């Protein structure tokens, strides 16, 4: 219903947002997605204010299009989030939007809106969708349990969209979870969605910062190979997540918490313990296959590792062919 508003607000050609996915969503991925007429998103939830500014500036060198900046209030905490938002506002970039995973504190939402920055809020329940609307969200992302990574609710994308449509909000509703083709999107648009958010299909892109082995494991998997669990809790407790069923998942909590890998972030090396919430990146060495392999049910339709341009050309052609 509000697809045209979504497109015009962010100057998009296709009503699609790339999910903010931890270290996977870096400068190359976000810029490439935006340059293809969709909304690329930078994952910045653990970064310092200085790192946020630097990453935005690096991305701006690669695209003049709208870009999203993803923050996660429940991970960063209010103190860091306040500083991150202030840094972003000080950038003075009029083609930035903030993508919140979960509800932000009320004062943060008020500050963003008063600074004339579009605010996108991702939720997993009808109650949180109502709260996001009252906060003044520009768009609301409705995440169903088919999605890979951490989950905000307990119902499917279809159920959540139906519930929230009944509220008759005057903003675009963006669906997330199990979407990896233009045909998938059209299914939800026919039900009332105004756009979609996709994550897993971008993990396997050339431009993503995911480890090559992780990308291939997604390509080789089907929906039945994913599972919802709370195993990978170190660094992010209390949130169910959808991952591939690897050996860590199959054996479960009886395993000892030992270091299984090492990753590099902004030039610093960090050990990765078993059950860490960290995803395997290009800068990660060690037992990649034992780490948190976030993956949505949309892996069913992902057949290859390829450039963002190829992924989105196919996605858009499917919309044109079948609408």
The pLDDT-based confidence of 255 (bands split at 50, 70, 90) is very high
- Whether the CA torsion 133, 32, 117, 24 is positive or negative: it is positive
* Beta carbons of 13 and 7 less than 8 angstroms apart: yes
User: How many Å apart are CA 118 and CA 89, to the nearest integer?
Assistant: 11
Mean pLDDT of 227-237: 96
Residues 6, 28 contacting (CB under 8 angstroms)? no
Given a contact cutoff of 8 angstroms between Cβ atoms, the answer to whether 178 and 144 are in contact is yes
pLDDT tens across 67-120, in order? 999 999 999 999 999 999 999 999 999 999 999 999 999 999 999 999 999 999
The pLDDT, as a whole number, for residue 269 is 86
CA–CA dist 67, 33 (Å, integer): 9
Name every residue whose Cβ is closer than 8 Å to that of residue 269 and which is 6 or more positions away in sequence: 262, 263
Single pTM value for the model: 0.96
- Distance, CA of 62 to CA of 60 (rounded, Å): 5
Q: What is the pLDDT of residue 264?
A: 80
Whether residue 323 has pLDDT greater than 90: no
The total of other beta-carbon atoms located within 10 Å of residue 106's CB is 11
Q: What is the rounded average pLDDT of the residues 8-12?
A: 98
As a whole-number percent, the residues of the chain with pLDDT over 70 amount to: 100
- Structure confidence at residue 9 (pLDDT): 97
Mean pLDDT of the chain: 96
Give 268's contacts (C-beta < 8 A, 6+ positions apart): none
pLDDT exceeds 80 at position 33: yes
Nearest Cα neighbor of 139 from 117, 119, 111 is 119
Categorize the per-residue pLDDT at 322 as very low, low, confident or very high, splitting at 50, 70 and 90: confident
Residue with tokens 């340059």: 35
Looking at the predicted structure, is the pLDDT value of residue 265 above 80?
A: no
């Amino acid at each position: 219903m509000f697809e045209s508003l979504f497109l015009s607000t962010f100057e998009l050609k296709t009503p699609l947002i790339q999910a903010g996915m931890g270290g996977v969503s870096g400068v190359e991925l976000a810029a490439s997605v935006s340059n293809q007429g969709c909304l690329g998103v930078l994952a910045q939830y653990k970064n310092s204010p200085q790192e946020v500014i630097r990453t935005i500036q690096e991305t701006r060198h690669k695209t003049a299009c709208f870009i999203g900046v993803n923050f996660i209030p429940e991970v960063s905490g209010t103190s860091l989030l306040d500083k991150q938002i202030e840094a972003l506002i000080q950038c003075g970039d009029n083609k930035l939007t903030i993508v919140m995973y979960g509800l932000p504190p009320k004062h943060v939402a008020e500050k963003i809106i008063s600074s004339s920055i579009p605010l996108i809020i991702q939720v997993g329940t009808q109650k949180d969708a109502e709260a996001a609307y009252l906060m003044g969200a520009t768009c609301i992302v409705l995440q169903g349990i088919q999605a890979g990574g951490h989950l905000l609710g307990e119902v499917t994308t279809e159920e959540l969209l139906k519930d929230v449509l009944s509220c008759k909000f005057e903003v675009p509703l963006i669906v997330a979870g199990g979407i990896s083709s233009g045909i998938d999107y059209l299914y939800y648009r026919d039900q009332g969605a105004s756009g979609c958010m996709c994550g897993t299909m971008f993990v396997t892109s050339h431009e993503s910062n995911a480890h090559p082995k992780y990308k291939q494991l997604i390509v080789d998997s089907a929906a039945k190979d994913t599972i919802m669990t709370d195993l990978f809790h170190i660094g992010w407790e209390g949130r169910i997540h959808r991952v591939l069923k690897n050996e860590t998942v199959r054996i479960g909590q009886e395993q000892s918490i030992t270091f299984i890998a090492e990753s590099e972030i902004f030039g610093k090396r960090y050990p990765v313990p078993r059950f860490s919430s960290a995803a395997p990146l290009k800068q990660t060495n060690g037992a990649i296959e034992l780490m948190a392999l976030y993956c949505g049910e949309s892996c069913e339709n992902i057949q290859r590792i390829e450039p963002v341009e190829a992924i989105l050309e196919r996605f858009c052609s499917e919309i044109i062919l079948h609408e």
